[in-house]
Structure 1
Amino acid sequence: MNDTKLREDICHWAASIFERGLTGGASGNISARTEDGGLLVTPTGVSMGRLDPARLSQFDADGRHISGDAPTKEMPLHAAFYETRASAGAVVHLHSTHSVALSMLPETDPDNALPPLTAYSVMRVGKVALLPFFVPGDPATADAVRGLAGRRAAVLLANHGPVVASRDLEAAVFAMEELEETAKLALLLRGSGARPLDTAQIDAVIRRYDLEWD
């Protein structure tokens, strides 16, 4: 995909995310790999509903900012996913309501924060690590992601929001949407005794689609 198309796609998906209320104000950020190994990144302090393709922040393959507006302050977080997951072609970070709420509940499992309620949560998101609270933009957040050694494609930042890495931009957006919908289900079903997928059911999905799950 050429850079012009990728710029347009980032702005398209960002506007869609904003219009559906998955992130508000100037919150949330997206990055995606370019053909030459660099990155296009949403700028800091700009609403995802009003991005200009020409003003996206561009980095070269060595991580140097070469054009566009100043990038999101969460750039170290994005970089940590690309460093630890060679397959990552895009990263999406939002402040979506239900995922943030799930990150605050004391019973949320730090190793598997998203209950395996549906086959699609297993297929598109996998296990989600819950990371501690960090001040937004703190490089320690990136260190925590590196500490996972690439074992998770998605994390919940406590009292902050979800981050998802995937093979390309569309897949990352779809995975983020699945994460948020599953978090919503988890909150709706809280205390109801609802049954998540059992181990055998999860294993069947993993085998059928050759998924990561540890």
Structure 2
Amino acid sequence: MRKITAGLFISLDGVVEAPDQWHFPYFNDEMGAAVGALAQAGDTLLLGRKTYDSFAGAWPEREAAGGEDATFAKVLGDTRKIVVSTGRPTFTWRNSEQLRGDLVEAVTALKNEPGGDISLSGSISIVRRLLVAGLLDELHLLLHPIVVGKGMRLFEEAESTLALTLISSRTFRTGVMHLVYARAESTDGGTYQEAKPHLPQGE
């Protein structure tokens, strides 16, 4: 089964919206390597419509310009891109197609297709839905040491908890932490009495 990996820039207060307004002061070679590895982790990109439009409005031009990021732009252009949209988008970027049908059912079928892994960039609502459905295998959070104060946050209020387990962590020189999570079994049922033996004991 194909693995789905999502990567997000996130602030200390959980904001994931408009990272271009607060993210770049923390971008160094470590961040570039992490972002590049995520983008090239498989042979398919799964994108929401807004994220796709943003990418399609920038990367083809960068590839054509032949600058220092043209090689990465070509990799993105050559990658199969599947766009989640309820409308009828017109695609101008090569290797782009629309995901048809119900998101959970269509992504489940996509995971069962032969091929390499699937990367998910941005597209917050899709990340949330795939996490809840148990279809997202790894969530990579690039946690920035900044409080943004406003904007969409990764997680909204929900009726139930969502347990995650930490797979790996790394701290960059800028203070950004690269945290990798996967779904975990529910933590429901824990009580104060069960936690009490782990508290500091007096003399």
Q: TM-score range by the shorter chain?
A: under 0.3
The TM-score normalised by the length of structure 1 is 0.25
The TM-score normalised by the length of structure 2 is 0.26
* Structure with bigger RCO (C-alpha 8 Å, 6+ apart): 2
